[in-house]
A and B are shown apart, each in its own frame.
Chain A
Amino acid sequence: MKGMTTFQKFQRNVIIPYSYLIPALIFLVVAIFFPVIMSLILSFYSFTGYELNIFRKFVGFENFKFLFHNRYFWIALRNTFYFVGSMAVIQTTIALFLAIIIFFGNFKYSSLIRMLIFFPGVLAPVSVSLAWRKILEQDGVLNRILQINYPWLSNVNLAIWCVVFVNIWQWVGYNLVIFYAGLQSINKELLEAADIDGANWTQKIFKIVIPVLQPTIVLNVILNVIGSFRAFDIVYVLTRGGPAHNSEVFTTLMYYYSFAANGPGKMGVGAAIAFVMFLAIVVFGIVRIKLLKEEKG
């Protein structure tokens, strides 16, 4: 850098790199960073969607107090926990299981099988939920096949599990494809050596495949947690949070309080739910980084 003036250095190290960066940065600040901060501030105010000045009425922790004394909030918390937890544990496990079966099964049409199972993942969650809604209805085809008359979607306890099932149905192929790519990258000689040593397939899976795939498992769990935590359309279309708010999750409850035509229009409460969600994902991020450090250290 000899012979450069301070300005030239400044230009080279700051102006040029940042001028390429600025457009993307502006979009991120306007669409994400600024609104997230504003959302946190707004959770201390009371306002509706029609107010001109939304910062008129400061209410302190009233919105949070309202939430914590509200039955729906605890139902939504429980359901979000079921939903996100199921995606993290059940969906990941099914996907890993299927990936291993396909990989070791020596299927002739292996790529076609993967393609079919992956296919629901490219469809709109709205279309998927509309389809399942009809199938799960009381006079729907599922009851017709089983020759029973069970109200799957309007059962207080079962509704959220129907949502879980449909969500797994849609996204399991996504995890499967990622696992399969992970399996393909396993050192083939390792498996051959195990073959020569006379290892059976359970030994191969638990002693070689799963330890090697561990980072892929973590990756899939993280993707599922992030994806299901923000899922809205599937619950909205399948159950509308019903019956009587019993399948509400954070996202639908927030919509109900802030935007729904038949809702109370308490946007401050909606902002408070957004705050809780943001906090939850930050905590999740910190836990993940802590775990990562422990593994390395």
Chain B
Amino acid sequence: MKSRKSTSQKNKIKVLSYGIKKQRDFGFYIFSRIVIVIAIIVILFPILYIFSISLRTKETLYQDIFVLIPRAVTYQNYIDAFNYAKTHLDVSFLEMFRNSMICTAASITVAIIVSAFASFSFSNFRFRGKEIIYTLMIASFAIPVQASLIPLFFIARDLGIINTYLAVILPYIGFTIPIAILILRSFFERIPIEIKEAAKVDGVSNFQMFLRIILPLSKPAIATCVILLFLETWNEFLFALIFLQNPKIQTLPVAIAKIAGGKYLIPLGIYGASIMITVIPILIIFVIFQKWFISGVTLGAIKG
């Protein structure tokens, strides 16, 4: 049944694309190819160039074929970059990754858990003030983080948590909750009412229903949240810059940004290798979960 449906759909698509093909003038065909080739060159060039730089020795830095292909290849820059971080940035790459992981994992976990509870409340109960609170929560997504930065600095200072992971984890949770609630509420509301009714007939409590029925059904929505929140927190810079001044606990973006600082002149090869060390793990995660990334972003945006 399912397969028959999909083949008929396929046929339809074939017919459709043929329809466009037949009508399409040759000019558009050429034009579209040229545009996309240019777009991809512009997008890929900087990444490939930095990668290429990171593989060159000092002597062969300006010897290349078509700018991108190095004449001689070495991985020495990556070793040097690890040492450079230790000596000049006062924090090793391993520590940077550890710090970023702690901040990201902690804030994502808490944000998704409290958002799931809140979304369950929004989707399952009728109560006074529901839509006003929901609108306020979602609207807070638009407020620039800078608007709460200075007071948060003093709150963190008075709590004595400046220069601890908590100083960034707490704001990260607050700032990502609206995104998570947006996605989770709409997903929870699309779970068929029959399932919930059946559970109620069986005398399952609200909390049991949430834990045993709603959450297991919501794995795709939670995965979407994880991806969106990961991108938000892993790449976050401003709060980490201000709240984590002790080099040892700085996250990846803050620590790596210092190579542009110009206190010391950093060799180009090490500069490129340092950037690539931050890019490559994300590249691997992106390649593995690419479909999830795209659908996550699309879903997140469309719900917004």
B155, B210, B235: the one contacting A123 at CB < 8 Å is B235
Asked if B146 and A20 make an inter-chain contact with CB atoms under 8 angstroms apart, the answer reads no
- Closest Cβ of chain B to A202, distance in Å, is 9
- Closest Cβ of chain B to A129, distance in Å, is 8
* Residue among B12, B40, B126, B177 with max Cβ neighbours from chain A (10 Å): B177
- Closest Cβ of chain A to B206, distance in Å, is 7
Residues of A within 8 A of B178 (CB): 28
Asked if A126 and B139 make an inter-chain contact with CB atoms under 8 angstroms apart, the answer reads no
Once A34-B151, A35-B152, A126-B256 are accepted as A-B contacts, the answer to whether A226 and B141 lie under 8 Å apart by CB is yes
Residues of A within 8 A of B177 (CB): 24, 27-28
By size class, the interface of chain B is: 35 or more
Could you count the A-B residue pairs with CB atoms below 8 Å apart for me: how many are there? 287
- Closest Cβ of chain B to A120, distance in Å, is 6
Q: For residue B171, which residue of chain A has the nearest CB?
A: A31
A196 and B18 CA atoms in complex are apart in Å by: 12
B170, B206, B234: the one contacting A16 at CB < 8 Å is B206
* Residue among B24, B25, B235 with max Cβ neighbours from chain A (10 Å): B235
A97 and B173 CA atoms in complex are apart in Å by: 36
B20, B130, B149: the one contacting A191 at CB < 8 Å is B20
A13, A14, A132: the one contacting B46 at CB < 8 Å is A132
Q: For residue B52, which residue of chain A has the nearest CB?
A: A141
Residues of B within 8 A of A258 (CB): 149-150
Once A31-B152, A174-B297 are accepted as A-B contacts, the answer to whether A254 and B146 lie under 8 Å apart by CB is yes
B23 in the interface, Cβ–Cβ < 8 Å? Answer: yes
B181 in the interface, Cβ–Cβ < 8 Å? Answer: yes
Asked if B260 and A32 make an inter-chain contact with CB atoms under 8 angstroms apart, the answer reads no
Residues of A within 8 A of B32 (CB): 101-102, 104-105, 107
- Closest Cβ of chain B to A262, distance in Å, is 12
A222 and B43 CA atoms in complex are apart in Å by: 24
Once A101-B35, A233-B238 are accepted as A-B contacts, the answer to whether A177 and B294 lie under 8 Å apart by CB is yes
Stretch binding the partner chain, chosen from B78-86, B112-120, B216-224: B112-120
Asked if A237 and B260 make an inter-chain contact with CB atoms under 8 angstroms apart, the answer reads yes
Residues of B within 8 A of A222 (CB): 304
140-188 of chain B: CB within 8 A of chain A? 140-155, 170-171, 173-175, 177-178, 181
9 other A-B residue contacts (CB within 8 Å) besides A25-B118, A125-B253: A13-B128, A32-B143, A102-B32, A102-B36, A169-B46, A199-B23, A259-B153, A274-B146, A285-B142
What are 28 A-to-B residue pairs whose CB atoms are below 8 Å? A20-B210, A21-B118, A24-B181, A31-B174, A33-B140, A49-B153, A101-B36, A116-B40, A117-B39, A119-B286, A122-B293, A124-B252, A125-B237, A126-B237, A126-B254, A131-B50, A192-B16, A192-B19, A201-B24, A201-B25, A219-B301, A232-B146, A232-B238, A233-B238, A251-B144, A255-B238, A259-B153, A267-B150
B residues with CB within 8 A of A = 12, 16-17, 19-25, 28-29, 31-33, 35-36, 39-40, 42-44, 46-47, 49-50, 53, 67, 111, 113-115, 117-118, 120-122, 125-128, 130, 133, 136-137, 139-155, 170-171, 173-175, 177-178, 181, 206, 210, 231, 234-235, 237-238, 242, 252-254, 256-257, 259-260, 268, 271-272, 274-275, 278-279, 282-283, 286, 290, 293-294, 297-298, 301-302, 304
